[in-house]
């Protein structure tokens, strides 16, 4: 199951990097808006990847639950996964701004929310993956 978990992670990272590349172009203004069908497709790919990671991770944790539940780093990983789930729900609404309104025309608080969401996503994915790869 570990191989499937890592394969899902790899495929999800490809979608994340593509989405982040588009987001960076949007932030810089080299793209006024982002193509809605591409953004939706990437969001679905990342959401399916996150669900796959949660499912395969839970399956792998079942036989080690007694040990893992006593490890603070395991609970930290679950915290980051929770951040990713909540952020994914917000991204569903936030991504519509990038498909309709140029970044330069967003209100300052709208820009901040997009930056925070992007930062939370990056921190969540990197932290959860690093904990899983190096500590669990």
Tell me the average pLDDT across 65-75. Answer: 97
Tell me the average pLDDT across 85-105. Answer: 95
Name the CA dihedral angle for 28, 30, 35, 36, rounded to a multiple of 10 degrees.
Answer: 20
Work out the pLDDT band at 94, boundaries 50, 70, 90: very high
pLDDT, one tens digit per residue, over 108-118 is 999 999 999 99
* Calpha distance 8→77 (Å, rounded): 17
Paired tokens of 23? 């987001």
Work out the angle between the directed axes of helices 72-100 and 108-134 (0-180°, nearest 10).
140
Work out the pLDDT band at 3, boundaries 50, 70, 90: very high
Q: What is the pLDDT of residue 70?
A: 97
pTM of the complete model: 0.93
Q: What is the pLDDT of residue 90?
A: 94
* Calpha distance 93→96 (Å, rounded): 6
Work out the pLDDT band at 106, boundaries 50, 70, 90: very high
Work out the pLDDT band at 102, boundaries 50, 70, 90: very high
Q: Assess contact for 125 and 60: CB atoms under 8 A.
A: no
């Amino acid at each position: 199951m570990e191989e499937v978990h890592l394969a899902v992670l790899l495929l999800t990272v490809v979608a994340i990097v593509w989405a982040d590349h588009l987001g960076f172009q949007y932030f810089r203004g080299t793209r006024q808006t982002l193509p809605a069908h591409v953004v939706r497709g990437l969001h679905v790919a990342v959401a399916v990847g996150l669900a796959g990671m949660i499912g395969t991770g839970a399956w792998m944790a079942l036989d080690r639950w007694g040990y893992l539940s006593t490890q603070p780093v395991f609970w930290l990983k679950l915290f980051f996964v929770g951040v990713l789930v909540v952020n994914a729900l917000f991204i569903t609404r936030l991504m519509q701004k990038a498909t309709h309104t140029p970044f330069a025309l967003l209100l300052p608080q709208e820009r901040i929310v997009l930056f925070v969401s992007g930062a939370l996503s990056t921190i969540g994915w990197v932290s959860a993956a690093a904990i899983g790869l190096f500590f669990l």
